[in-house]
Amino acid sequence: MTLQEAMKQLESCGAAQNRKIWVRHGIKGEMFGDSFANLHKFQKQIKVDHDLSERLWATGNHYAVIF
């Protein structure tokens, strides 16, 4: 999976309500508002990809970092 594909997948599952909740809990900066259930599905799909994880971390997006 490429960085662009991963970011599109994360963005497609984002929800405004989840973003509001995370802002209230102190998350700052860019985020998509995905649920952790969706994040776990993506993690199972990708498995271990160190190169992709470094590129996701570099984006600074909260969900990409924890993905």
Could you give the number of structural domains in the chain? 1
pLDDT of residue 54: 92
pLDDT of residue 51: 92
Residues in the chain with pLDDT < 50?
A: none
pLDDT in tens, 46-57: 888 889 889 988
Name the residue range of residue 15's domain.
Answer: 3-66
pTM over 0.85: no
For the residues of the chain, what is the DSSP string, one character each? Answer: --HHHHHHHHHHT--HHHHHHHHHTT--S------HHHHHHHHHHH---HHHHHHHHHH--HHHHH-
